[in-house]
Chains A and B, each alone.
Chain A
Amino acid sequence: MVAAPACTEHRWVEPVLSAVGLTKRFGDLVAVGDLSFELNAGSVTGFLGPNGAGKTTTLRMLLGLAEPTHGRALVFGRPFAELERPATRVGAVLEAADVHPGRTGRNHLRVLARAARIPVSRVEEVLELVDLKGAAGRRAAGYSLGMRQRLSLAAALLGDPELLVLDEPANGLDPEGMRWLRDFLRAFATHGRTVLVSSHVLAEVAQTVDQVVIINRGRLVVESPLSELTARLAGTIRVEAVQPDVLEAALRDAGIASERTNGKLHVHGVTAERVGEIALAAHVGLRELVTESASLEEVFLELTTEPPS
C-alpha cells in the first residue's frame, strides 16, 4: 500500500490530474509538445482543440495507454498504471464503440466489473443510471451509436470514480442525448468530483465546463476559466475612419492601443462611445463604428487556426 495523499474536506489537495511537460513524438511528428496543465478537484474542464490537435494522444498518455516520449502524466499524483484498482478512481471513455458486438451490454459490464472486483449489483445500478436496462440483455451488435455511448459511460461509472475522462462524448449523440450528458456531468461534478471532457467543438461543452484547456498542434494555447475566455472576447471595437492615421494617433494620445487591419482599426477594452468622442475631438470622420462581440466559437477558431504563413 502506498500512502495516500492528505485528504481534507476538499478531498484531494494535490491536482487530480496533471500533465507535466508531456510530449509524444511519432518519428518526426510531434503529436503533443511540452504540454502542461492541471485539473483541480470539483472542476469540469473542456479539453479543446481541432481534430488532430493531440487531444486523444494526451488522454491516452494520461490513462497509461501510451508512453510519453518526455514528461509525466499523473493521476492522483501517480502514473495511472500505478493506481490501486484504477477503475474505482478514474472512469474513462476513449472510444464509444469499444464493445464486443457478440456480447450483451450487461455482460460487457460484468466482464469489467469482475476485473476490478466490483459487485454485480453495481452493474444493474449503472445500467439504470444510463437508462439502458431494457437493452442490457441484447447483444451489442444491435445497439445504436448512442446506446454504445451510454454503455461505455456506464462502464466508466462502474467503479464510482472520482474523475471522469470522456473523449469526444458528443460524437453520435442526438441533441437530447447531449442535454442529458450535460446535466449528468454537472451533477457528477458536485461533491468534489472532477470531469475532463474533450471536444473539437467548443459549443458542445461551453454550457458544461467551467474551465478550458485549449491545445493546437499538440501545444497548449490557453488554459483558463471559461469566464476569462469569455471576458477576453467582449468589447472589440471596429472603426473605419476617413483618416485612420489621425485617429490612430489620437487614440494613442488617449492611451488606447489599436491594431490596423485592412484599413480598419480594432480597439480593445473601451466602449464605442469613447472611441466616437476621441474621433470627434480629433476631427476625424467616421465611416463605421461597430462593437464586435465575437462568439466563443469565433474565439476558439481564432485561437486554434494557424495564421496563414
Chain B
Amino acid sequence: MTDQLGSELLKLRTTRTTAWFLLAAVAVTVLGTLVEGLSTSLGRLAQEDPQRTVLGAGGSGATLFATFAGLIAVTSEFRYGTIRPTLLFEPRRRVVLGAKLAAATLVGIVFAVVCLLVSFGAGLVILAERNVDVTLSGAQMLALVLGTVAASALGGVLGASVGALIRNQVGAVVAIVAYAFLVDAVVFAAVPSVGRFLPGKAGDALAGQPVEHLLAPALGGAVLVAWTLLFAAMAAVRMDRSDI
C-alpha cells in the first residue's frame, strides 16, 4: 500500500495537472478574499461570521479544485490507458483504489492549507488596513481551519471516487460541474431542509461557513463522511468487478 501510495503521489507530481488546479484554487481564493474583505461593510466585518467568510475564503476554491484533482487523477488513467500498466504492476485493485483515495486526501489537505494561508494572509491584511478588530478567538480560527481542511480532503476523495465510478473524463467533469453548480445550489435554494444534506452543502457546513440553513459543522462533517464512504464503496465495487 505504501509503495502504491508513493507511486500515486509521484504521478500527481509528474504531470502539470495538479499544479494547475492548485493555481486555479489559489486564484479563486485571492478573488474571494478580496471581494469578501473589501465589499463587506465595516459594521458587518466587526462580527464573527463575516470574519469567518473572509478568512475562510480559501475553503471553497480548495475543495472544488481538490475534487477536480481527485477526479482527474483517476479518470486520466482510463483516458490515457495507464490503468493497464498500473494494474500490471499492482493487480490488487483495492490497493490501487485505496492508494488513489489516500493520495486524493493528501491533495485536498495540501490545497486547503495553501488556500487558507492565502486567505488568512490576505484577509488579515485587509482587515487590518480597514481597521477591523479581529474578534475570532484562536480556537475559533483553529476550528475554521480544521473544518476547511477536512472538507477539502473529503472533496478530493469524493472526486476520486466519482472518477472511478464514471471513468469517462469528460463525463465525470460534466457530472461534477453540473452537480456542484446546479443540483446542489438549486436544491438548497428551493428546499434547504433537503439541500443541506447534499455533499456540497454538508462540506460548507463542515468548513464552518456561516450560511443560513446549513447543518451544524459536526453534523455536516458526519453527512459528508457518509457520502464519501458511499461513493468510495461504489467505486470499490466497480473497480473489483469490471474488466479493464
Contact surface of A with B, Cβ cutoff 8 Å: 60, 63-67, 80-81, 83, 86-87, 90, 92, 94-95, 97-104, 107-108, 110-112, 114-117, 152, 155, 159
Q: Contact check, A110 vs B88: say whether CB atoms are below 8 A apart.
A: no
Which A residue's beta carbon lies closest to that of B6? A114
Q: Contact check, B3 vs A98: say whether CB atoms are below 8 A apart.
A: no
Q: Contact check, B7 vs A114: say whether CB atoms are below 8 A apart.
A: yes
Q: Contact check, B87 vs A65: say whether CB atoms are below 8 A apart.
A: yes
Q: Contact check, A117 vs B84: say whether CB atoms are below 8 A apart.
A: no
Q: Contact check, B85 vs A155: say whether CB atoms are below 8 A apart.
A: yes
Does residue B82 face the partner (Cβ distance < 8 Å to A)? Answer: yes
State in angstroms the CA–CA spacing of A99 and B80 once bound together.
6
A-B contact pairs, 26 of them (CB 8 A): A60-B243, A63-B88, A65-B244, A66-B243, A66-B244, A83-B91, A86-B89, A86-B91, A87-B89, A95-B84, A97-B80, A97-B81, A98-B82, A98-B85, A99-B80, A100-B80, A101-B80, A102-B16, A110-B14, A111-B10, A112-B7, A112-B85, A114-B3, A114-B6, A115-B6, A115-B89
State in angstroms the CA–CA spacing of A82 and B136 once bound together.
55
Q: Which residues of B (61-112) have their CB < 8 Å from a CB of A? A: 76, 80-82, 84-92
State in angstroms the CA–CA spacing of A149 and B17 once bound together.
24
Which A residue's beta carbon lies closest to that of B90? A115
Q: Contact check, A67 vs B243: say whether CB atoms are below 8 A apart.
A: yes
Q: Can you add 18 more A-B contacts, CB < 8 Å, to A80-B91, A112-B89?
A: A67-B243, A86-B88, A90-B88, A95-B84, A98-B80, A98-B82, A100-B15, A100-B82, A101-B80, A103-B15, A107-B10, A111-B10, A114-B3, A114-B6, A114-B10, A115-B3, A115-B7, A152-B85
Q: Contact check, A99 vs B82: say whether CB atoms are below 8 A apart.
A: yes
Q: Contact check, B92 vs A81: say whether CB atoms are below 8 A apart.
A: yes
Does residue B11 face the partner (Cβ distance < 8 Å to A)? Answer: yes
State in angstroms the CA–CA spacing of A94 and B10 once bound together.
23
- For residue B73, give the distance in angstroms from its CB to the closest CB of chain A: 11
Q: Contact check, B11 vs A111: say whether CB atoms are below 8 A apart.
A: yes
Quick one: which of A81, A111, A116, A155 has the most chain B CB within 10 A? A111
- For residue B135, give the distance in angstroms from its CB to the closest CB of chain A: 46
> Given A65-B244, A101-B80, A116 and B89 touching (CB < 8 A)?
yes
Does residue B4 face the partner (Cβ distance < 8 Å to A)? Answer: yes
CB < 8 Å: which of B14, B76, B88 contacts A104?
A: B14
Q: Contact check, B80 vs A117: say whether CB atoms are below 8 A apart.
A: no
Q: Which residues of B (42-64) have their CB < 8 Å from a CB of A? A: none
Interface residues contributed by chain B, number (CB under 8 Å): 26
State in angstroms the CA–CA spacing of A86 and B3 once bound together.
14
State in angstroms the CA–CA spacing of A111 and B14 once bound together.
9
CB < 8 Å: which of B3, B15, B16, B244 contacts A117?
A: B3
Interface membership of chain B positions 115-138, coded 1 if the CB is closer than 8 angstroms to chain A and 0 otherwise: 000000000000000000000000
Which A residue's beta carbon lies closest to that of B93? A81
Q: Shortest 10 CB-CB distances between A and B: which pairs?
A: A115-B7, A66-B243, A98-B81, A107-B14, A81-B91, A102-B15, A114-B7, A65-B244, A115-B89, A64-B91
> Given A86-B89, A95-B81, A102-B17, A111 and B244 touching (CB < 8 A)?
no
Which B residue's beta carbon lies closest to that of A165? B88
Which B residue's beta carbon lies closest to that of A82? B91
State in angstroms the CA–CA spacing of A178 and B82 once bound together.
24
- For residue A125, give the distance in angstroms from its CB to the closest CB of chain B: 17
State in angstroms the CA–CA spacing of A112 and B84 once bound together.
11
Question: In the complex, which residues of chain A have a beta carbon less than 8 angstroms from the beta carbon of B76?
Answer: 100
- For residue A112, give the distance in angstroms from its CB to the closest CB of chain B: 5
Q: Which residues of B (189-222) have their CB < 8 Å from a CB of A? A: none
State in angstroms the CA–CA spacing of A35 and B7 once bound together.
36
- For residue B76, give the distance in angstroms from its CB to the closest CB of chain A: 6
Which A residue's beta carbon lies closest to that of B99? A115
Quick one: which of B3, B17, B88 has the most chain A CB within 10 A? B88
State in angstroms the CA–CA spacing of A278 and B85 once bound together.
62
Q: Which residues of B (14-36) have their CB < 8 Å from a CB of A? A: 14-17
Question: In the complex, which residues of chain A have a beta carbon less than 8 angstroms from the beta carbon of B4?
Answer: 115
State in angstroms the CA–CA spacing of A65 and B241 once bound together.
10
State in angstroms the CA–CA spacing of A305 and B6 once bound together.
49
Question: In the complex, which residues of chain A have a beta carbon less than 8 angstroms from the beta carbon of B15?
Answer: 100, 102-103
State in angstroms the CA–CA spacing of A50 and B89 once bound together.
29
State in angstroms the CA–CA spacing of A117 and B7 once bound together.
10
Question: In the complex, which residues of chain A have a beta carbon less than 8 angstroms from the beta carbon of B11?
Answer: 100, 103, 111
